[in-house]
Every structure is written in structure tokens, then in C-alpha cells.
A and B are shown apart, each in its own frame.
Chain A
Amino acid sequence: MNNSSSIDLTTGTAVPLRGNNIDTDRIIPARYLKAVTFDGLGDHVFEDDRASMPNHPFSNSSYCQASILLANQNFGSGSSREHAPQALKRWGIHICIAESFSDIFRGNSLSIGLPCFTAVHSDVEFLMGCVEESPRTLLTVSVSDLTLNISERSISLAMPAAMSAALLKGQWDATGILIDRFEQVRATGFSLPYMKGF
């Protein structure tokens, strides 16, 4: 059983979000976690930052069609709320590229089919500069080649091998493969002394 499809090539415009340590409370404030679905989260992405920063890129109409997010270091730090990548995805982001990510954010993003690539500082700066100057610049990102093509230039991206494999094989929604060999799960579980009360 498989609930996810292969993800490889994406082409789109990008939104540059400058700053390190942009945490998940900023991506989606906790008051929007008070819901039993993820519906409508896209409307509230970066809500408080947008209110306090008139020039926030997510409020800039030049970037309203962007599908690629460019960020700096430690993007998505803090809370494990999947609501953060859900809000980004529902806003329209299909790819995240940053200098680095928090472990939990990157895992959550993978599990909803939102690839997170890292790129070196100078390349992120270059990309941000390009799209700040020309917001309509098209970027093409490849999971299989771990590259980003912009105009005539190709930039190297990185991602843990297991994550790119999960995206390419369409196994980023892991539930199917995790229950696939349930007897093996039971065998491992019941080999643990605490499972039988010691």
C-alpha cells in the first residue's frame, strides 16, 4: 500500500526569507494549532512576522506565486508542530532550500512530501540576490541530481540519502512500508523484555 507518489523535478519561482533561526512558532503561531484539521493554515503562515514587518516577503505580491522557499540557517527550529510545514505547503511552497534545518522540521516536511535541501551560504546568498532582483526568475530543482538550475548556472544541493530515496521511491509517506511486514514488527517488539512485563 502506498499513499505517496515519486517527487523529483520541480520548476517555479522562489521567495527569499532572510534570517537565521526562524522557528516554528514564527512560521505558524500556536493559536492556530487549536484545530482538529490542518485546513486554512496557509492563510496564517508567518502571520505575526508579517504584521510587524510591512516588507515581509510573504506579503509581497511579487512572490505570491512562489513555490520554492529560500532560507538561511536553522530554519524550522523549535516545536515539532507539523503545522509549520503544512502551513508552508498550503500557502504554496513545494520545495525548501536553506543553509540548514532543524532535524524535526526536516523530518516532518519529508513525511508530507515537502523536500528540504541544504545549500552552502554563498549559493543561498546568490539565489536570494537573484530572486530579489528578478522575482520571476525560474528555478528548477532535481531530487535525483541534487542540483538547482537557474538561468545558465547549476548549483549543488544536499539532502540525506534516505530522504532523497524516500522522495524518489514515493515512500515519503512511510505508513505503508512500516506496516508492510507487521510480523517482523511484532517479533522485534516482543523480543524486548519490557513488552512482556520483564
Chain B
Amino acid sequence: MAKNLLEKVWDAHTVRTLPTGQTQLFIGLHLVHEVTSPQAFDMLRTRDMTVAFPERTYATVDHIVPTLNQARPLVDELAEQMMVALERNCAQYNIPFSDLNTDTQGIVHVIGPELGLTQPGMTIACGDSHTSTHGAFGAVAFGIGTSQVRDVLASQCLAIDPLKVRRVIVNGALGLGVYAKDVVLEIIARLGVTGGVGYAYEYAGSAVDSMTMDERMTICNMSIEGGARVGYVNPDATTFEHLKGRPFAPSGAALDRALEWWSSMASDSDASYDDEVMLDGTTIEPKVTWGINPSQSVDIGGRIPKPADVVDAERDSLAEAVEFMGLKAGSLIRGTAINVAFIGSCTNSRLSDLREAAKVVHGHKVADSVRALVVPGSKSVRLAAEREGLDQVFMDAGFEWRGAGCSMCLAMNPDRLEGREICASSSNRNFKGRQGSPTGRTLLMSPAMVAAAAITGAVTDVREILTQT
């Protein structure tokens, strides 16, 4: 019988059906970071348990990492405590760890793919909701909480209910200045923040087929913002080419066998889905969020909705968002003044993101009113960007060039908004208080759009800069 990728991966990893009716699912790769793991390791110790498969576990440090002064002990005592806990836990249980002293440290969802740990047909779990990112490779990747981190450490398994699958088809070529970020913001705007609850999203169509792995990661990354815990793209030649030569990827004869298995895990052409939606990629515009959840976005030429523009059920949310954001219903989003520009996060901090932003920045200066920073997703990204001279392009323009980590996406390190600052951000969440100031405001957009906002001091259509001669 024809199956989709989720069904194939699910079947291959099912240990048994538990007495509760949930599936006991084997997890092929467990990624660990400092924020959601210390309590899980403590619970293991309390219960006199050990890590079942340390060789299928991999740790790094990202959320609390300062992007300026990384000297130990860290200035922030709580951050230092978390760092020490992870070091101790990795040492005690023999878990490989890309710590701050390695060249492989970075955001967990950037380094997994970079190292070739993330592979097609695999199940992956991590105590972070953006684990869906790894689905770009045709893996089934779950964000989990700390008790489930404990479960996976102890058993390499999750107790989990099956998911339905919605195929999200995006056809057609994207226009100039339109990026994967705009595509996923459009998907979330159409399907809503709850549209994906209970579903995995399979992204398909000619627009997705022609995307690079970095772009596919951006789309899968934000699946959770649409409510879908899992998002994936079927593995293809682009995926396989990207994996070749990475430290944990197979090589030689093993690679040939891997390619055969990876290909076999892709959805069958006659597979069935619980739902299917179609978008025309040629009509997608650069997008900007105006509200306090990622579905509240408009095209760059669009206006912030008025109460009359939305259905009754959304009117309260609209009023709350407009009030918090200090924006005016019915006004254009373009021209909204910004204070901070942030290029980074697991959504958009990879080399191609920095290249696209640098193209916009090149030859310009950051507006006097704007504080702008670039936080590469990993040390590898940072080093590769420096080899290309991207750091110089950003610094010449007045951007700060920082060390790798999650940084101002959620402000668990010293990088944060102050007071009512408004930030053009390439990250994934515009929730109230997300960027470290309870009253701070976030406008989500592509890295190129953030770059355009940084140099003009206001929300700008990046195409105006890209088409300047």
C-alpha cells in the first residue's frame, strides 16, 4: 500500500503499542541543549537510571550563550550554572558535546544538519519546539519537553500519539526579494496558528522542490508556529548532495546503501493524505508581521487590518495585538520605524541567509536610529561568512558581528530589547515579551527585509533596494 514519509518513518521506528494506546517510537537522534535538559538528567540520577544510547545523543550550548564575552566563568552566574550542568552531564554519560571551545558549537538546529547528524528517514527529538527544522531532510523531528527528554535519555523512545498529515503544496517560482521566510509566513497566515494542531505538514510543490536545504529548513522550522509539531520535505537529490562529505554522514559504499534507503523513505507518488492545500508561489510577496502571533502578517504593501476586516472570533485578538504593538489599524506596515535589527535564530542564521542580507547591506549604512546585529547560527557559519568577507560588509555598514547562539530570538543571553523598542527580526516568534523586554515589540520578516529595515530605519520593501542600479 502506498505510504507517505511520515507513515514509513513511523512504522520503521515503532517498538510497540503501549497499554495506553500510544505508540512507543524509537528515536534515532536525540539533540540536547542546556535549557531543557538539566532537570531531565537530575531525574535520571534520582531514579538511578542511565543514558540508554549516548552514541545517539549529541549536545551543544546555544540559548544562554553570550555573543560578545564568552570568557569563563560567564558573567551571568545562572548561565554559568547551566553551562556547568551540561558539561557535567555530558561527561558523566559520555555524550558528545560541541561546547564553546569547539568550532562546531552553535544553535542545535543549525549544527545537527551541518554535522550530517540529521539524515532522511530518521526520527529526531530535542527539547525545543523548533526541532521541526530537521524535517527539511525528510526526518520526522519532534520538539519535546523536559520529562520527555528524560524518557528519551533513559529509553531512546517517546510515548506518542500518531499524527495526521497535511500536504502543503507551493507551486511556481518565487519573485525577486521573496524568500522561504515569506513562504512560511504566508502558509501560517492562510492556515492560522492552530491549523496544524494534530498534523505533520509535508511541504511539496515546485517551489519547495527548487529550494536549497537552507530554505527548506526555514520553512520546516516554523511549522510549529502554525501549530504543526512536525514539518518535513521529502528527501531528493538536493538533500543527498547537501549531506555528502559531512562528518557524520556515510561515505563510500555505505553512502550508496544510505542513498537507496533514504530514497525509499520518501512519500510514494500515490500516497494519501488527511488534507491537502495549495498555494501559488508566484503571488507571494515579502511579508511582515504586525501582531503578537506569527499568523498576524501582511504583504509589504499591505495594511494592518481593521476590526471590520476579520471574523468575529478574531476581533479580540486583533484589538489586543494592535494595542500591544502601538500600531494603528488600517495603516500601512511599510514605513513603521524600527529601533533594532536582528539577523539570526534557528530560522534564518545560515550562510545563505547572511549572504542575502549582505547583498542588501552592501554599500549602505545602518540608519543612525537603529541598533543592528548579526548573530550567525553556528561557529561554522560565522567562519564561513568571514572567509567570504561578509563580516566586513556588515561591520562596514554599522552592524555588530557576534558569536553564535540563539541570542535575541528569546533573549536568554545579554542580547535583548529595552523598553518599548521595536525590532525587525529574522527570528520566528513575535509573542509579547519574546525578545527580553516585557513591552518590547517584534516584526518578523526575512533576513533581507531586516537588512533593508536596518539601513532605512523603517519597514521597507527590500525589492526597492535590490532593484537599485
Contacts and interface: CB of A to CB of B under 8 A. Distances in A.
Interface in A151-198: 160-163, 165-166, 169, 171, 173-175, 177-179, 181-182, 184-185, 188-189, 191-195, 197-198
30 contacts: A19-B316, A20-B317, A21-B293, A23-B293, A25-B431, A26-B431, A26-B433, A29-B433, A30-B436, A31-B411, A31-B436, A34-B64, A74-B193, A79-B429, A80-B129, A80-B144, A81-B145, A104-B143, A107-B144, A111-B147, A112-B147, A162-B161, A165-B19, A174-B159, A175-B154, A178-B154, A178-B157, A179-B52, A189-B26, A193-B258
A151 B13 CA distance: 48
B4 to A, nearest CB: 19
B35 interface: yes
B412 A34 contact: yes
Interface centre among B26, B147, B229, B410 (most CB of A within 10 A): B147
A108 B450 CA distance: 34
A76 B361 CA distance: 38
Given A166-B22, A175-B155, A107 B13 contact: no
Interface string B101-143: 0000000000000000001011000011101000000000001
A72 to B, nearest CB: 9
A96 to B, nearest CB: 15
Interface stretch (A9-17, A35-43, A63-71, A135-143): A35-43
Interface of B: 12-16, 18-22, 24, 26, 28, 35-36, 38-39, 42, 47, 49, 52-53, 56, 63-64, 76, 78-79, 81-82, 85, 119, 121-122, 127-129, 131, 143-148, 150-151, 154-161, 193-194, 197-198, 224, 227, 229, 250, 254-255, 257-258, 261, 292-293, 313, 316-317, 320, 410-412, 429, 431-434, 436, 438-439
Contact of A108 (B15, B78, B148): B148
Given A31-B436, A82-B147, A182-B52, A160 B227 contact: no
Contacts of A81: 35-36, 145
Contact of A36 (B21, B38, B292): B38
Contacts of A78: 129, 224, 429, 431
Nearest to A35: B78
A194 B81 contact: no
Contacts of B18: 162, 171, 174, 177
Nearest to A51: B438
Nearest to A79: B129
A80 B12 contact: no
A147 interface: no
Contacts of A85: 145
A145 interface: no
B158 to A, nearest CB: 8
Contacts of A191: 12
Nearest to B44: A175
Contacts of A188: 13-15, 26
Contact of A82 (B21, B145, B320): B145
B412 A177 contact: no
Contacts of B143: 80, 104
A185 B147 contact: no
A151 B150 CA distance: 41
Contacts of A184: 15-16
A185 B155 contact: yes
B39 A36 contact: yes
A189 B15 CA distance: 8
Contacts of A169: 19-20
Given A184-B16, A185-B157, A198-B250, A162 B21 contact: yes
A177 B19 contact: yes
Contacts of B229: 103-104
B20 A192 contact: no
B128 A80 contact: yes
A162 B52 contact: no
A187 to B, nearest CB: 8
A16 to B, nearest CB: 14
- Among B63, B193, B258, which residue has the most Cβ atoms of chain A within 10 A? B193
A82 B22 CA distance: 20
A103 B227 contact: yes
Contact of A171 (B19, B39, B79, B254): B19
